[in-house]
Amino acid sequence: MGYLRITVSFFIKNYKFPVYCIGILLGSFVFIILDSLLLVVVFKDFISSTFDLFGQKEADEIRHIIYATIVWISYINTSQRVKNTFLEKRPVE
């Protein structure tokens, strides 16, 4: 449901889009990190070397998600374009 909500918010330019987007980014980031750590903890006894289970490819994927999360959250929080675009249905102050 989260991805549907963020997609609809994006296309109707709802003011809550940045909040939803940051939530999805952080949720995905936390899920990937916890999933990777759980994989190492659960399967470490079945595989002789943790490196075989958690190799360079997996480390690169985690590094990529860390960088992407940092870049996109920074952009969403500081961009004037984002602040000017997502204005629809904002409550009157």
Look at residue 24 in the predicted model and tell me its pLDDT. Answer: 92
Q: Are 44 and 50 in contact (CB under 8 A)?
A: yes
Look at residue 19 in the predicted model and tell me its pLDDT. Answer: 92
Give the span between the Cα atoms of 59 and 67, in whole angstroms: 12
Look at residue 48 in the predicted model and tell me its pLDDT. Answer: 59
Global pTM reads 0.77
Look at residue 39 in the predicted model and tell me its pLDDT. Answer: 79
Bridge partners for 88 per DSSP: 14
Average confidence (pLDDT) per 10 residues, the chain, 93 residues: 86 91 92 84 67 71 90 94 84 64
